[in-house]
Amino acid sequence: MLIYKIFSDDEWATLQANGDTLGAPIDLADGFVHFSTAEQATETAAKHFAGRDGLMVLALDTDAMGEALKWEVSRGDALFPHLYRALRLDEVIWAKPLPLVDGRHQFPDDMTCG
């Protein structure tokens, strides 16, 4: 199953340069890396990245993360994937720009949940 992470261009560049990351500031504050399913990503972008340009969306395979990936109740009582270790660059299946068009983020057409 694929899950998704929204990063700023700078956060994506840091992951590429270092090979791993503990995530964005919210991830560091919460002690885990936040992800969304394809169905959750639009609301995540609207809630946490409203009006922000210069973003990337990364697709990751849940199988590669093993037991460090936990599904936990969060927004709207839905289960969200949380990673309790550093995210590794080799776990990224693809990374694509997340452009802001007329105030809304335009997700890639091929975003699926598996």
Per-residue pLDDT tens over the stretch 57-85: 999 999 999 999 999 998 788 999 999 99
Rg for the chain, CA atoms, rounded = 13
DSSP assignment string, 7-40: EEHHHHHHHHHHSEE--SHHHHHHTSEE-B-HHH
pLDDT at 18: 98
Where along the chain do its domains lie? 2-105
Beta pairing partners, 60: 3, 92
Q: Which of 61, 60, 69, 63 is nearest to 96 (CA)?
A: 60
Express each pLDDT in 84-106 by its tens digit: 999 999 999 999 999 999 999 99
What CATH architecture is 2-105? Alpha-Beta Barrel (3.20)
Mean of pLDDT values over 14-18:
98
pLDDT at 63: 94
Model confidence, pTM: 0.93
List phi, psi (to 5°) of 11: -65, -40
